Amino acid sequence: MEIERAKNLVNLYESLQLAHKIILNSFYGYVMRRGARWYSMSMAAIVTHTGSNIITDSRSLIDQLGMPLELDTDGIWTLLPKGFPEEVKFTLSNGKTVQFSFPCTMCNVLIYDKYANKQY
């Protein structure tokens, strides 16, 4: 039951991550448009500032794992050392296995811990 709950949470967090990206990109574009009802350079600035901080924080983690090739708002491409376990697989005591992408999961945990609004 816990394994199923964890899988559901992974799907939820990945969906939320994509939703946040789309909303922030749309919001940034809207508040930057002169004549928009909620035009605000301050809001546009905080969106880009937060995005920049997330990319910088991700880079500091990626630098410890391998060599970053490209970091932008659409993703992170990294050259990992040969033999680095990109996919981690655990076998549980009941014989079932759980697999996840180590670098992606670590970045997601870092971002969630530092930037998630826990009251929601």
Encode pLDDT of 81-101 as tens digits.
888 888 888 898 999 898 888
pLDDT at 105 over 80: yes
Q: Token pair of 109, please?
A: 């945990």
Q: What is the dihedral of CA 67, 73, 74, 80, to 10 degrees?
A: 10
State the pLDDT at residue 120: 66
State the pLDDT at residue 35: 85
pLDDT at 4 over 80: yes
State the pLDDT at residue 93: 92
Q: 23 with 43: CB under 8 angstroms? A: no
Residues 14-30: tens digit of each pLDDT? 888 788 778 777 777 78
Residues 27-81: tens digit of each pLDDT? 777 888 888 888 888 888 888 888 888 888 888 988 988 888 888 777 788 888 8
Phi, psi of 95 (to 5 degrees): 95, -15
Domains of the chain by residue range: 2-115
Mind giving me the DSSP string for the chain? Answer: -HHHHHHHHHHHHHHHHHHHHHHHHHHHHHHTSTT-TT--HHHHHHHHHHHHHHHHHHHHHHHHHSEEEEEETTEEEEEPPTT--SEEEEE-TTS-EEEEEHHHHHHHHHHHHHH--TT-
Q: For residue 119, give every residue at least 6 positions away whose Cβ sits within 8 Å of its Cβ, in sequence order, or none.
A: none
